[in-house]
Structure 1
């Protein structure tokens, strides 16, 4: 089974507490024996996938997997085509180079209100960008945007491979069978291969 969950801000991508201030998935998901296929930090929001199938977990988030993850980032400062080009060319992080598969400017309003809201500085504008990556290092998107002078204020994962967060309210989930999930991954792989 594959669970698609729209994770709110302030929720850990695990079912047990770390003793800290964050909620866990247990507050939202009662399906037994499912585990996150990849992480989404507590201070990030959006699509989190969970599964009870080890092969499916490996296909989505294993070391050999190159399933893309798409994020909307609200950044401090004015993003422009030059900063998007720099993200696509690549930046150097403390754990090595990283580059976006895609990076583009977004003309969007807030997809949903965040609780608590982000800090707003009236003297500094902000903007939204879309960033697609095919790896998942710790806080990678935040570090990449900071490397081009655009610190991330809010981060929402809108897609993982063929699955998107649209249609899922905050805190809501939807389930797919293993067969449906593997078929979606195969279709996505064929479409990607056609562009290479």
Structure 2
């Protein structure tokens, strides 16, 4: 089976088994025998890869394989040079120290869909956007990193995993496509 690229909507669980009152992957993808290769928190949105190939799933998801993942993060506050420098350097989060990463301030992505429900807006506090590219992926890492530098995450969208991105495969939340089997070799 080909690799599945899925744009996970906000508040959808990264599992196929239903949980009362919560949307899950089965509400969007009706293909038997596929599993997520990595996860996104329910509060996060964006690109997920799914496959029925256990070896491929392991090679995508396992931290030893270090597939780069890029996250677009809307934060509460202005991402200045000092905050970005702290994000790029190893950052002590208490239970682990992050590896160096790429973190740059960006304009609000024009192609990004509106979130439902929308993020809170405060007239007295500006927001800004950061693109963060990691070679690792611990639980809630990006949210913890931005909070550690004084910029709490308001919205988190994974835009790419390795060679696959929402820029080259535009999908609205809840949509998926099957990538030809030959594209699996890119991973």
Q: Shorter-chain TM-score: which interval?
A: over 0.9
User: Does the 8 Å contact 1:56/1:178 carry over to 2?
Assistant: no
Alignment of 1:19-168 (within 5 A): 19=20, 21-109=21-109, 111-166=112-167, 167-168=170-171
Q: TM-score, normalised by structure 2?
A: 0.93
The answer on whether the counterparts of 2:89 and 2:101 sit within 8 Å (CA) in structure 1 is no
Q: Which has the higher helix share?
A: 1
Asked if structure 1 preserves the Cα contact closer than 8 Å seen for 2:99 and 2:136, the reply is no
Q: 1:25 to 1:124 in 2, by over 3 A?
A: same
The runs of at least 4 aligned residues of structure 1 exceeding 3 Å deviation read none
Q: Return the offset for 1:82.
A: 1.6
Note the C-alpha offset of 1:64. 1.9
CA distance in 2, matches of 1:145, 1:99: 14
Map Cα deviations across residues 129-148 of structure 1 (whole Å, 9 max, x no partner).
Answer: 00011111110000000000
**Does structure 1 conserve the Cα–Cα contact (< 8 Å) formed by 2:72 and 2:159?**
yes
Residue 193 (structure 1) aligns with: none
TM-score normalized by the length of structure 1: 0.89
CA displacement at 1:179 relative to structure 2: 3.1
Of residues 41-50 and 173-182 in structure 1, the stretch that sits farther from structure 2 once superposed is: 173-182
- Unmatched 5+ residue regions in structure 2? none
Helix, strand or coil: the match of 2:13?
Answer: coil
- The CA RMSD measured in Å over matched residues stands at 1.3
CA contact (8 A) 1:100 1:131 kept: no
CA apart distance, 1:127: 0.3
